[in-house]
Chains A and B, each alone.
Chain A
Amino acid sequence: MSLQTWVSRTRAPEPVSVKRETAVVEPADLLDADYRDDPDASPVLCCTGDPAGAAAFGALWLKRIATDGRYAAAVSVRGQGSTPAAAGGTGAFVHDVVQAAIGLPRRTVLIGHGHGAAWCAEAAARYPAAALVMVAPKKLPKRIPKPVGSPPVMLAVSEADSQSKRVQAVTEAYGIAPLTFPGSGDEVFKGPNAEGLLDAVLSWLNRG
């Protein structure tokens, strides 16, 4: 975020505040461990474009992330899950992601899926995420927003999408190579493909 972008944003009305639904699983809920034990294990905040919102991550993602020793959270942006709908469009979804991030105990990893990946990419340009993970992104802005605080970035796309022009443009903008996973980009919440993908994301986060 440049100074000029910040100035423009503060000269426009702030999106109305909504009571956001967040789902949280802490390591202590599952194990004899606490996320505070390891100061290097950043919390993780997940967000999807799926209307289910935070609930989509509950069954598999949050539990497995917490088992990994991390504070695991997911947010429903306005209109998703039990977060009330409110005006504002994309800018407001991004606002919701940033607001959820600042509520976490430490600098957090942002994991976005589908449209959620685009909101997380924008959020990472406003808030210095510990890392940015985009899973099967949809509607990433044409001009890829430059993240603040130079976080490591990961892009995971389905094998079918990996050769697309769009994916190439994104990997080029971030200077990274995409990770590919089998199956459809919409089926990332359950099943063996989802587990494989999640394990790949976690081992990337833990790569030391």
Chain B
Amino acid sequence: MTRAERIRALGLLAPAYLWLTVAVFLPLSAMAFFSLLTEVPFGEREWSFTIANYTEVFGNPVYATLLWKSLKLGFWVTFWCLVLGFPCAWILARMLKGRSREVLFLLVILPFWSNALVRIFSWAIVLRGNGVLDRAVNAVLPWDVNINLMFSEPAIIIGLVHSYLPYVILTTYLSLQAIDETLIEAARSLGARWPRILWRLVLPLALPGLIAGAVLVFVPVVGSFMEPRLLGGRFGTTYGTLIEDQFVAVFNWPLGAALSFILLAVVLVILAAASPALRKAAT
């Protein structure tokens, strides 16, 4: 690049860097700063620098247990989102045309547009004992069953899957959409049937979309707190609710900031560890 070109490129990139600074770098630095304090620096009380927040987290196994629980939650929600999202995306991309596709798209996007609290409380109505699900199942089955999923691990997973499924459907839809129909015809002309076409052709070609969807789901779910709190009740204490408590209930911002940073680090380590495999799969 010549000097003039370099200056021009810098000019074009400047807004992006400015945005990154304001939206990512500044808040993160503020959080990093807080996580190293003894007290929030706004009140009357004295404050000083310390790493006690981090030693506290590493010293107490409760935090690790909750983090592990949240990671498992992230795993299962991601898993179900992929399992449910792939067929939905397939139907959208390959089986429907015109009006019916638009309608289904609308249904997929709808959770995005509805208020999270409304969504979660609707699930509460469905899942609780003597709720919608319980009655529906009992109306169909001849014997009596008692279904009360409320305040349980499955309830949290159902709520989270519902909230995050659209990400997987949309990203997978995009990569399925791009698969050339003649590839499938070529495979059929060579004698391949659907299971093999799916496994050897469609799934590998859809993988970039599935991976993008998985990352988009996994990261926020590990830190989620609203669904666990409202649908999980007693079971709903997660790493995410723990962080939230530090900020809104016990006002221990430094500890909350330290917890957030550790979560960020763990998620980044997981993504980094997975990235060679992901990159290979995506090409």
B is bound to A: no
> Which residues does A use to contact B, with CB under 8 Å?
none
> Which residues does B use to contact A, with CB under 8 Å?
none
